[in-house]
Structure 1
């Protein structure tokens, strides 16, 4: 009888375990800490660069083709929920648990590509700037709120995000974990673009 119960319990545990993403498919504590720390540092670095700007500096454009600091910041904040939505809607991606191994190395490769800015992209219409933030202060307030929501989402996340993949152009296949890291890498990428505007010889003093 004991042997029968033990066998039954093992079967129940196996069935329950197979009904959800495997342990290595969800974010570990270390994963969450890494993602959240990256969100924090990319946020604080960006705010540090813009918090003292005047209205004239905020809207200065080096030329007609370039974005102002205000436009760059608006693009950053508009892109964040769009990227996050990919993780929320995992069913839109493909389940490939065999590709989880090496996810950190792949993440570093993606970050290097995004931050390196070796390839330029045209921002799609939903995340192009429209003059939503008239002052640095108004953007900073909205950005802090937006980033707080993102960090809260990561803390509560228990989906097998590391096992769902989709193609991301020159980077290849990326998972939900990589999209979460992308948010901060994207912020870093455009922070570098913003610094170029600040360093322009015609930038108002």
Structure 2
């Protein structure tokens, strides 16, 4: 019996403590849910004309913004899936940028150029864009709720000087929605934005 206790103690001593804490998990879940719910509140009652309104020909409509967000939900999920299956590299945390860098960068006022693979098609109508986003976001929430992966020890598979760990990828994921919520609210403030009473069904 003493032998097995010694073996168990030895194995426990060799198991590194997780860097991704339950506080980190809850913080991620809270923000994933918060941004999902804020996007829902901003868009769930829009009329077709409001979904399709463009501030100018070169600007996205709210429908296109939400489609863009849904496309990124797929991209983030793929990045986390690949990063989670890679070899843990907790040592990279010593030289990677802090969490605050990513939160500040995603919300900076400077325009970001969307890569071609995440540009909206505009083919999805109205509220279907929200349904598209919500289905994917809920899948992420379910995964974050149950995963045993140490998200601060797993890093993305890109060759950068300061790669992001998976917790930081999640900061980008919910922060990206915050960024575009700002855009949606700006669209709604445009003087030509259609009032609900005049929008056609």
TM value normalised by structure 1: 0.80
Which residue is 1:140 aligned to?
130
Quick check: 1:126 aligned with 2:117? yes
How many angstroms does 1:107 deviate by? 1.9
Distance 1:165 1:129, change over 3 A: same
Query: Structure 2 matches for 1:52-201, cutoff 5 A?
Result: 52-90=45-83, 95-100=88-93, 106-118=98-110, 120-136=111-127, 138-166=128-156, 172-201=162-191
How many angstroms does 1:80 deviate by? 0.8
- Report which of the two has the higher share of strand: 1
Unaligned runs of at least 5 residues, structure 1: none
Deviations 1:131-186 (A, max 9, x none): 243122x23333322221110010121122202335698x9432111111211100
- Report which of the two has the higher share of helix: 1
**Contact 1:69–1:194 (8 Å) recurs in 2:** yes
Give me the whole-angstrom Cα distance separating, in 1, the residues matched to 2:191 and 2:132: 30
Give me the whole-angstrom Cα distance separating, in 2, the residues matched to 1:9 and 1:113: 45
**Contact 1:55–1:135 (8 Å) recurs in 2:** yes
**Contact 1:114–1:189 (8 Å) recurs in 2:** yes
Give me the whole-angstrom Cα distance separating, in 1, the residues matched to 2:5 and 2:37: 54
**Contact 2:103–2:172 (8 Å) recurs in 1:** yes
Secondary structure of 1:116's counterpart equals: coil
Query: Structure 2 matches for 1:36-47, cutoff 5 A?
Result: 36-47=29-40
**Contact 2:67–2:133 (8 Å) recurs in 1:** no
How many residues matched?
194
TM value normalised by structure 2: 0.82
Distance 1:150 1:179, change over 3 A: same
